[in-house]
């Protein structure tokens, strides 16, 4: 690992050791976690579409809420994260309720702890844009997929995050009065969210075509995205995450991302791209 990569990794690790996010405030049982997760469109779609019995890696799982949620439907889920403090939150919840379908491991995405081809699904939500070399981290995670397995990748978009970048600059000068809450939060969760969004030690934003180039290099076939990277593809409420769709042209990607400046502002410019490992 180069010195620059090691320095960024250590800064990010230290940040999440101090501010694990999200915490388990308000969750008195796994049922509470499940009900809360299924209120979100994206977690609900994942839970509805991931088959039972599959082996899933949640890389950069944070405190492990998504990993626990997906494990409740008889899937073998491993949550991996750089931060021991974040993992401790998930382990406490797992042990408190005797959950057996999920386990947690401390891991750097640049040095995976598993053999190549170990997983049917690799989830990596909101993680790689906090690494020094996200393309290299992506390639490492793709190696962990079985042939035909799926990777689900969540990143900040260069266009969709523009307005948030402006608020970050304003916050540096005059405080966080411009902060927008994505949903109701308790005080501890709100503080952690604010720090994550406005004072994170390392962040990058990627374009759609950059991500598709990663796919090609790592022999990953494009499957789908949320929101669509081609505006001519309607995202219906009953659309399936893992349904094969056309990637569209560079021009249509530009049209989509221009709209994301406004439509993805509430999500902080966050978008999800799904790919399948070629046999």
pLDDT at residue number 177: 47
Domain regions of the chain by residue span = 3-277
180 CB neighbour count, 10 Å cutoff: 11
Report the relative pairing of strands 145-156 and 270-277 from DSSP bridges: antiparallel
Model pLDDT for residues 75-115, shown as the tens digit of each residue = 999 999 999 999 999 999 999 999 999 999 999 999 999 99
Q: How confident is the model at residue 178 (pLDDT cuts 50, 70, 90)?
A: very low
Question: What pLDDT digit, counting tens, does each position of 29-71 carry?
Answer: 999 999 999 998 899 999 999 999 999 999 999 999 999 999 9
Helices and strands (H and E) in the chain: how many? 10, 7
pLDDT digits (tens, 9 = 90+) for 65-78: 999 999 999 999 99
Give the pLDDT of residue 9: 87
Residue holding tokens 């492990």?
64
- In the predicted model, is pLDDT for residue 176 greater than 60? no
- 22 contacts 193 by C-beta, under 8 angstroms: yes
Alpha helix segments (H runs only) across the chain: 3-18, 30-38, 41-49, 65-71, 84-97, 134-143, 162-174, 187-198, 208-217, 250-263
β-partners of residue 155 are 271
Token pair belonging to 118: 């170990």
Note whether 277 and 147 are within 8 A (CB): yes
Structure tokens at 183: 């949903």
Q: In whole numbers, what is the pLDDT of the chain averaged over residues?
A: 89
Is domain 3-277 classified as CATH 3.40.50.800? no
């Amino acid at each position: 690992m180069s010195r620059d990569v090691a320095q960024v990794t250590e800064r990010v690790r230290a940040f999440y050791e101090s501010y694990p996010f999200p915490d388990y405030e308000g969750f008195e049982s796994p049922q509470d976690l499940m009900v809360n997760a299924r209120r979100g469109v994206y977690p609900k779609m994942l839970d509805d579409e991931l088959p039972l019995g599959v082996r899933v890696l949640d890389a950069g799982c944070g405190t492990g809420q998504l990993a626990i949620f997906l494990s409740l439907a008889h899937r073998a889920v491993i949550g991996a994260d750089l931060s021991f403090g974040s993992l401790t939150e998930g382990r406490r919840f797992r042990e408190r309720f005797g959950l057996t379908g999920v386990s947690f491991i401390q891991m750097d995405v640049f040095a995976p702890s598993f053999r190549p081809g170990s997983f049917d699904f690799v989830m990596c939500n909101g993680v790689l844009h906090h690494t020094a070399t996200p393309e290299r981290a992506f390639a490492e995670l793709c190696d962990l997929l079985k042939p035909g397995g799926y990777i689900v990748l969540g990143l900040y978009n260069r266009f969709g995050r523009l307005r948030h970048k402006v608020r970050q600059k304003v916050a540096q000068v005059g405080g966080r009065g411009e902060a927008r809450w994505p949903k109701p939060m308790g005080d501890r969760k709100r503080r952690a969210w604010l720090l994550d969004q406005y004072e994170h030690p390392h962040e990058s934003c990627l374009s759609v075509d950059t991500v598709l180039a990663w796919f090609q290099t790592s022999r990953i076939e494009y499957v789908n995205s949320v929101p669509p990277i081609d505006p001519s593809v309607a995202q219906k409420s009953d659309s399936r995450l893992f349904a094969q769709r056309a990637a569209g042209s560079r021009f249509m990607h530009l049209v989509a991302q221009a709209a994301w400046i406004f439509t993805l502002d509430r999500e902080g410019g966050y978008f999800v791209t799904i790919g399948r490992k070629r046999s």
